[in-house]
Structure 1
């Protein structure tokens, strides 16, 4: 995909997900609001942080409320990527109460999940800030929410790996075994890329120093060192750097806040962390309604 096509694709994913989230919540209508609130009643709502963290998803919340009623007005007290403390105001929504209430839970769900991911990502990024290593996300995202999960990683200071199966040739263990080894898999991948004139990179996962040697002989763009010990990571980095300065190295495999600093200090270029998105703890946010 070209950059323009990718942008349109990602924006389409986002818009469809927002509308689906609203649709699954209201279905035939917000019967509680319709039963108890005068449709002409106006007011405003304040979103407040209930704990410290990194904010993300404010623009998504704005899209939710605009979809509920474009006449609603929003005031942002903080911005995506900023630290927020318990008790701080995050944003205000003003206008008709019915559409505010309709969008409340959907907006908070997006913001809480995204802020939780951004907060976790920032914790990883801060731990390795003294190195040149960068934190990557994975495809271990909630189905249908990948755009938001990956955007939250970016807001938290991490870097997006591939968005899906289409924007990077990532040869993993099953591909290697099925293709008959690292070398055959890489050679087939290179021929496929050339045949179809694809402007994408090739990455290969290796599980041992022998596979690393075989991969390096084929000169992929990135080598993924899967579940290597610290000693093996250091050895792998030294070995690859002695042969090629252009091949990048990524470490993966059960990375945590307890291990990421030591892994970064081995000199790898990237560390991929599934925990950023597969085990999300939402940041606690709440919304309070006030009548005008």
Structure 2
């Protein structure tokens, strides 16, 4: 087992005081065989009522209720985790999913229908992202798709703002990790594969500094459901499949479902704000 500690802090500073809606905080790991939580602690502004729940996607969520007006919101996270080393290709596909295109069984399709249905238009797509002209091994096709996105979409750091629609990312040929993820998930759905968005932490200690794209920030990637393998993580930002270095905190159908912090302020005027973050992930 690998023991790591995560320390994360985010502060939203507002130009004026305001009342706030309940805020949903999705920063707690989705535990599984590869990720085990030894200790977790979320703190926010003094006097806040924090309630812990599981949402419709089985994400662990902290609901924060703010009783008074504030000019800033602060979230601090402390995590001590144990990770089981994971080979992302250690699976066997069911016979009906060995090649793309493939069709889910009726039972699979019934359960996965919400994840198969496209949510946003793609518009014209490059030939490399279109349906292959003939059957091709599923894993080979996914590796190629993931590599093409990594190699052809220029990465840009953008900590705030909504994810670009897939059409915009393809038009600009650049984007942040959440733009890569939204584009990838819609391409997969376009081809009839069940896909969902994921947010969380990417532990990049073993990467050269120039290749670190999630340093000091949260990360977004994709999972697709492959019969026989289950939900398989794919990171188009880095062009790799997801092993034990990826620690998911939320999954969902749309970017709003996986936002690390979700809420709003009440008021009749616009109150500008700035976000500052600090993230440390290190081996114990």
TM-score bracket relative to the smaller structure? under 0.3
Please report the TM-score for the alignment, with normalisation by the length of structure 1: 0.23
Choose 1 or 2 for highest CA Rg.
1
Task: Using structure 2 for the length normalisation, give the TM-score.
Answer: 0.24
Task: Answer 1 or 2: higher relative contact order, Cα 8 Å, separation at least 6.
Answer: 2
Greater strand content:
2
